[in-house]
Amino acid sequence: MKIIAATKNKNKLREFGEILKGFEIISQEEAGVDIDVEETGTTFEENSYLKAKAIYDITGITTIADDSGLCVDALNGEPGVYSARYGGGGYDDKGRVQLLLKNMKDVPDNERTARFVCVITLVGDEGIITARGECEGRIDYEPKGENGFGYDPVFFVEQYGKTMAEATPDEKNAISHRGKALKIFAEKLNKKEYN
Ligand code: IMP
């Protein structure tokens, strides 16, 4: 089964492919769709649906999209659905990490809890499938590690005793929000649990 992954993010595309083995995952680019869908929703569920639906409507090919982000308890769940645009859109990954560290500078150890959230939505001829995954961690005090992307260098994972950017891709996939959502998603897809 051919599925378009509605993302231009090469890291996400690689993670989709690594976990959804057995499906032919093609990128938005390979499908010839060059649009940026506006993420106007206020929840991960809404935004992932908007992205998948827009590309399915154009191509008629089953499409999956994810919406993900980092929810920090001490910041009332921010940056949340605005993780990619934290600080207003003028920063790159490193800049957003620095902004996060600045906003967390007075937050003590025991209040630095956070979670990555990922919601995957498929839209196709047979219906819609939605799956959510979460990964618990703590915001570290400085960036560490070179793997992954985004907030991985400051997301400390208790189980591994290191940041997500210090974890190997396999270690990350085993516990990550995207890994969990994709596994739940793959089970639902195999059982054809459409809504
Ligand atoms: P979106 O899902 O493309 O809207 O963007 C989500 C944003 O959340 C990314 O740009 C990253 O800043 C952050 N994010 C999502 N997943 C991860 C992850 O696995 N590691 C680090 N940051 C992530």
8-state DSSP, 193: -
CA nearest to 87, candidates 102, 72, 66: 102
What residues pair up with 64 in beta bridges, in sequence order? 5, 122
- What would the two tokens of residue 134 be? 């979460």
pLDDT range class, residue 16, cuts 50, 70, 90: confident
Which is the closest atom of ligand 1 to the Cα of 172? 19
pLDDT digits (tens, 9 = 90+) for 42-73: 999 999 999 999 999 999 999 999 999 999 99
Radius of gyration of the chain (CA): 17
Strands 2-5 and 24-27 come out as parallel
Among the listed ranges 16-25, 41-50, 95-104, 126-135, which one has the minimum average pLDDT value?
Answer: 16-25
Residue 60 is predicted with a pLDDT of 96
Task: Evaluate: CB of 16 within 6 angstroms of ligand 1.
Answer: no
> Does the beta carbon of 67 lie inside 6 Å of ligand 1?
yes
Q: Residue of the nearest CA to atom 22 in ligand 1?
A: 150
For ligand 1, the distance from its centroid to the CA atom of residue 82, given in whole angstroms, is 9
Residue 83: CB within 6 Å of ligand 1?
yes
Average pLDDT, the chain: 94
- 78 — pLDDT class (breaks 50, 70, 90): very high
Give tens-digit pLDDT for 145-191.
999 999 999 999 999 999 999 999 999 989 999 989 999 998 998 89
Atom of ligand 1 minimally distant from the CA of 11: 19
**List 36, 66, 67, 92, catalytic entry:** 67
Answer whether 65's CB lies under 8 Å from 48's CB: yes
Check if 67 is active-site: yes
Structure tokens at 147: 């793997």
